[in-house]
Amino acid sequence: MSKKILLAGAVLFALAPASAFAQSGGAAAGATTGAVGGAIVGGPVGAAIGGVTGAIVGGLADQQQPRFRQYVVTQGVPSYRVQEEIRVGATLPASGVQYYEVPAEYGVTNYRYTVVNDVPVLVEPGTRRIVQVIR
């Protein structure tokens, strides 16, 4: 047990510089940091949950969300309708949804945005997975 605690401390110490850059590194850095932290606390299940939660760190910061939401409104982007709950991790259809570039000032140019059920979302363009719901 004490070996696990020492190993966990060493891993956290080694990753401390990486976690400091999690926001600038995007979802990949956040997912890695979250997965390691989750694994230490909750084992394999904790790693999976921590990885998903950590990936969100790569999205818009809380203080940017209202300004980004207002930006989307001013763009007049049409809303795509779905029956399912809008949530992080959901995959949007391959056709029928228009994706738009996020302005560089928001620092998440690796994502695209669209509007689903009148709610702006950030989407990973390669997979069409929602990475952040902007409420």
Phi, psi of 120 (to 5 degrees): -65, 140
- The structure's pTM equals 0.60
**108-134 pLDDT per residue, tens:** 999 999 999 999 999 999 999 999 999
SS (H, E, C) the chain: CHHHHHHHHHHHHHHHHHHHCHHHHHHHHHHHHHHHHHHHHHHHHHHHHHHHHHHHCCCCCHHHHHHHHHHHHHHCCCEECCCCCCCCCCECCCCCCCCEECCHHHCCCCCEEEEECCEEEEEECCCCEEEEECC
Phi-psi map region of 8: left, alpha, beta (phi>0 left; psi -120 to 50 alpha): alpha
Residue-level pLDDT at 61 = 95
Backbone angles phi, psi at 132, to 5 degrees: -160, 135
Answer yes or no: is pLDDT of 66 > 80: yes
Where along the chain do its domains lie?
2-56, 62-133
Please determine, for residue 54, whether its predicted confidence score (pLDDT) is greater than 60.
no
Share of the chain above pLDDT 90, in %: 55
Give the pLDDT mean for 19-27: 39
